[in-house]
Amino acid sequence: MKANSRFLIFFAFLSSLIFAAGTFTLPVLTETSRSKAAAIYDRDCYACHRWTRDFAGPSMLGNVSRYKENPKALFNYLKDPKPIHPDKYRPMEIEKLSDGDASLMVAWLFALLEDSTAKDRPR
């Protein structure tokens, strides 16, 4: 194989890696999108979750912390919840979130993790 084509193959491989890693980006939060996220949370999540303590579901602070390094996995969970703690809880059942609402939710929950004193943080 010529050096040239080896370089090309390597380059194609590299760009596919970069592409795969870059497909998931969180939306940038604005005041408007934050209040949208808070409204979705009120409607679809608050019934079962409290921020710092376990309730009908596990504490949201703990939930989000576990995904700190992997926002995409949290997105996937919200789109399609799988059993996590079958010994303690029934699998989560929620209203279906659109892709846009699910990634907004992830961005907002991560922002609240960074700043737990934010005034739109749910109880």
Q: How far is the CB of 45 from ligand HEC (least distance, A)?
A: 3
Encode 17-39: b = buried (16+ Cβ within 10 Å), e = exposed: eeeeeeeeeeeeeeeeebebbbe
Give the residue carrying structure tokens 């949290």: 74
Candidate list 34, 37, 38, 45; residue touching ligand HEC; CB under 6 A: 45
x/- contact string, 68-107, with ligand HEC (CB under 6 A)? Answer: ------x--xx----xxx---xxxxxx----------x--
- Tell the smallest beta-carbon distance from residue 9 to ligand HEC (Å): 38
**Beta carbon of residue 77, minimum distance to ligand HEC (angstroms, whole number):** 5
Kindly write out the interface string for residues 48-67 of this chain, putting x where it contacts ligand HEC by CB under 6 A and - elsewhere: xx------xxx----x--x-
